Amino acid sequence: MSTTLSIYLKYSGEGSRLARRAAEVLGARGYIYSLGDYDLLVDGRPWREAGVSLTWVCLDRTDLGEYGELACAEGTALAPYEYDLFVEHRAPRRPEAAVQLGWTFFERLTALNLPMVYVSAEEWLLADFLPGRGIRNFPPATSYEEQDRAWWYEPRLHDDPMAPWPGQLAEEQPASPRSVLVFETDGLLQLVPIAAEHGQRRWLTPVAEARSDIGARDLGSLVRSVQHTTGRSGDLGGSMLAFLAGLAVRSTEDFVRGTVCLAWCSCPDGLAGGPCSLSGLQGVDLPVARVVHHVSATEPPEILGQTLLDLIEAARPPAQE
């Protein structure tokens, strides 16, 4: 049977930005948008030898993050947090390894420089983190309810739990925004950041994914977040098309046959590009788009998102009678 541990984070900005940074610090291959929440594709293989089966990692909004209400968290240690990163796992013979899994995630996520709290599968508070103060460990069996307030109370968080945190999400900004390749396969969108460094291009992970019924504003925000990816070179994992086909659970040949591609190149005042052929993507040199469109960096995200959705629709081959 699966159990779940949680790491709550205080962050009131764009969810796509938090999801990308969490995916980067956890070494995820990608992150998948779904109705405002994000599944993180974290490789579970390193944990199997320790007896832990990692089944699901999801960045979910709390009531405060989604509705702006404290709801059942009011008066508890969890009240100030807008996001819950929950880690579903199975460890039938190694419960101590499951706890270590949570500690590893928690310690890596402190690189985001946001307030957070680690809650065990048994719903005990294990530790919290506050920028400038560091990690604070709690005694065994500390409850997040009122009875243990003396342990978990932090005035900067709990005096006004609905107030945004004044600090910033820690980012390693690239020298310039990334170009982005957009792939669409049977309603699945995959957004691949492309880095141009020292005269060479390389594709990066994590890759962002969403369904094509995503709203225009959310898609535009997702693309602009992808432009700031500072993750690992994807070339270490082999072919980009084979990697994307694997995420889409297809053979590379089927993926190439059924996929529409847009190439969007970063320019000084935004993004420019249009549809391109997958035949030019065996490397990562961006092909020249057949029709060039431009979206200024000052345009709202819904304009960028709707432009992409319209171009994808126009690039699809006509349906066979």
Residue range 240-257, pLDDT digits in tens = 899 999 999 999 999 988
Model pTM score: 0.91
Residue 98 lies in a domain: yes
Strand, coil or helix: 136: strand
Do residue 211 and residue 131 come from a single domain? no
The rounded Cα 254 to chain-centroid distance in angstroms is 27
Range of the domain at 104: 3-158
Indicate whether 190 and 64 sit together in one domain.
Answer: no
Q: Please tell me the predicted confidence (pLDDT) of residue 98.
A: 76
How many domains in the chain? 2
Percent of the chain residues past pLDDT 70, beyond the cut: 92
Give me the pLDDT at residue 8, please. 98
List the CATH number of the domain containing 107. 3.30.310
Q: Count CB atoms within 10 A of the CB of residue 106.
A: 21
191 with 152, same domain?
Answer: no
Distance of CA 23 to the CA centre of its chain: 5
The CATH number of the domain holding residue 257 is 3.40.1590.10
Q: Is the pLDDT of residue 183 over 90?
A: yes
Same domain, yes or no: 209 and 126: no
